[in-house]
Structure 1
Amino acid sequence: MIQTYLEKCRQLIDTVEQQTEQLQQAAQWFADTILAGRMVHVFGSGHSRIMVEEMWPRYGSFPGFNPIVELSLTFHNLVVGANGQRQAMFLENVSGLAERILRNYDLSEQDTALIISSSGCNVVPVEMAEEFQKRGVKVVALITKEHSDRSTSKRKDGLKLSDFADLILDTGAPVGDAMVTVPGLETPVSPGSTVGGALIVNSIKAELARLLTQAGQPPKVLTATALVGSERATELFESAYDEHAHRLAKLYAEVGKKTFVS
C-alpha cells in the first residue's frame, strides 16, 4: 500500500510538470502584483487552508501574499460539538459570506488572487472568485480537475470555481481525492490533492522568486538559522514581517471611507 501511494504521487509530479506554461503565467501575474507594491490574495476553505499556509508564512516563503483564512471555515480540530466540522461544512455553502469577507479590504486591479478548492463546487470559494473578478482582480484557481468535473456545484446556477478563473491549475488527484484502494475495504484512502497542491504552489513560489530577483527586488525569504545563522535569520524574519505589515496596511487604508461617519 505504501508503494502504491508513492507511485500515485509520482504521477502527480508528471501532471504538475505538464502545466509548466500555466505555472509560469501565474508566477508572472503574481510578480506584477508584488512589484507594484500590492498583494496576492490567497483563499481556501476546509482543508484547502493547507495550501494557503504553504504559500505564506513559512520557511522558504516571502512577503507579498495575503493569507485569507476564516477559522469558521477551517477549524477542524474539535470535529464535533462547538466549532465542529458540521458547522464548517455548512458555512462553506452560505451565499454572501465571501462578499462579507472581502468587505474588509480595499482591493485594486493590480492585485491578484489564488483560490484553492479541490472540488471547486462549494459556494464560498466560488463566490470569492466571483467577487474578485467583479473588482478587476485576476483569479488563479487551484482545483482537482477530474474531481471538479464529476462533482455538482452547490450554487443554484450550477457555476463552479473554474467559471470565475482567469487561469486554472490542476492538482492531478483523482475523483474523490483518495488514491489507494485497499483489498477488502469498500472505499479508497490517502488523498492526493494536498501533495499536488503543494507541488503547484511551491513551483509557482520558486519561479516567482526568480522573477522578483531578476527585476531587482529579491524577496526577503524566511530562512532557517541552520542555513544563515541566528543573526541573519532574525533579520530576515523581522524585515519580512515588516514588509508584510506595510503591504497589508495598503489594503486597509481606504476601507469604508465613502461610508463611515467621522
Structure 2
Amino acid sequence: MLALEWLNNARDVMQKIENTQIENIKKAALVMADSIESKHWVHTFGCGHATIPIEEMYPRIGGFVGFHPILELPLTFFTHIFGEMGIHQFLFLERAEGFGNEIMKNYNFDKQDTMWIFSHTGINNVNIDVALKAKEAGMKVIVYGSAAEAVGKTTRHSCGKTLFELADIVVDSCVPVVDASVTLKNHIDKIGPISTLGFVTLVWMTITTVAEILADRGVKLYIHPSHNVPGDVTAHERLDACLAEYKKRVACI
C-alpha cells in the first residue's frame, strides 16, 4: 500500500533528524533565543512550498511572539496556477537574481536580528539574495534544507555559493533531493513529497527548544492560546496581549 510506504519514508526522515540534527537545532535555537530575548526578531523566509513552515510557526496556537514572517505573495502558492501570478512567473521570480534585494528594501533590520531561511535545494537566487543582504546587515543566517543532498549542486547565483555555503548555521532536513518519495507504476516521476513534513518537524523541534531556553532564562513569552477550549475565560485576553506585543515590536521594522 503506497500510503504506508509514504508513512515509512516520513518516519525515516524524522528518525534521521533525531539521530543527526539535535546539536545543530540547539545551535540554531540559541541564536534565535538571543534575538528574541533582546526584543529583536527572528525573520523567516522561503519560496513556494518552503513558505509552509513559515506559515506554520506564527501566528498559530502554541506559537509565540518573536518570529516575523517575510512572505512575498508571488513567491508563495497562494496564487493562481495560470494567469496573473501563475506558476511560470513564480519559477522565473525565484531564480531572478536581484529580486531578493528588492524584497529586503522593505524592512528595517538590526544586527541583533536573525534570518531563518528554508530552502530544499539551496541553489535559487532569491533565497541567496536574502541571505547575502542579511549578512550585510550583520545578522546571523540560519538555513534549513536538504544540505547533504545538495552537496555538489551548482548555485544559480553569481556569488558562486549555495545558500548552505553562505549560512552561519545549517540544519539538514534529511530529505532526498528529489523530495517525492514513492514510486508509481507506469510513471517516471515519483509521488508523495516529504520535505514539508521535514520542515515542519524541524520548526517545532526548534521553536520548542527556543522556548525552553527563554523560559530557563526567565523571559516571559507571549504564547498564542487556544481560544476554542470551553471554560478558558481568559483565552481572548491572552490572545489580545500576544497581538498587542507583536504590534508593538513590528512597528520598528
Matched letter for residue 234 of structure 1: H
Matched letter for residue 10 of structure 1: R
Identical-residue share of aligned pairs (%): 32
Distance in 2 of aligned mates of 1:227 and 1:172: 36
Q: Is contact 1:150–1:175 with CA below 8 Å preserved after alignment? A: no
| Per-residue CA distance 1:205-244 (angstroms, 9 max, x = gap) | 1111111111112312112134474532212221111111
Query: Partner of 2:214 in structure 1?
Result: 212
Query: Partner of 2:67 in structure 1?
Result: 65
Matched letter for residue 87 of structure 2: Q
Q: Is contact 2:65–2:222 with CA below 8 Å preserved after alignment? A: yes
The CA RMSD measured in Å over matched residues stands at 1.6
Residue number among 204, 223, 226 corresponding to 1:224 in the alignment: 226
Count of residues in correspondence between the two structures = 251
Distance in 2 of aligned mates of 1:212 and 1:156: 39
The 1:134/1:109 distance shift into structure 2, 3 A limit, reads same
Equivalent residues in 2 for 1:1-262 (5 A)? Answer: 1-17=2-18, 18-149=20-151, 151-227=153-229, 229-251=231-253
| Per-residue CA distance 1:78-125 (angstroms, 9 max, x = gap) | 211111111011111222222222222221111111001111111000
Q: Is contact 2:120–2:177 with CA below 8 Å preserved after alignment? A: no
Q: Is contact 1:107–1:135 with CA below 8 Å preserved after alignment? A: yes
TM-score, normalised via structure 1 length:
0.91
For structure 2, the 5+ residue unaligned runs are none
Matched letter for residue 46 of structure 2: G
Q: Is contact 1:46–1:89 with CA below 8 Å preserved after alignment? A: no
Matched letter for residue 175 of structure 1: V
Distance in 1 of aligned mates of 2:82 and 2:200: 28
Distance in 2 of aligned mates of 1:237 and 1:228: 15
Q: Is contact 2:73–2:79 with CA below 8 Å preserved after alignment? A: no
For structure 1, the 5+ residue unaligned runs are 252-262
SS at match of 2:95: coil
TM-score, normalised via structure 2 length:
0.94
Q: Is contact 1:173–1:179 with CA below 8 Å preserved after alignment? A: no
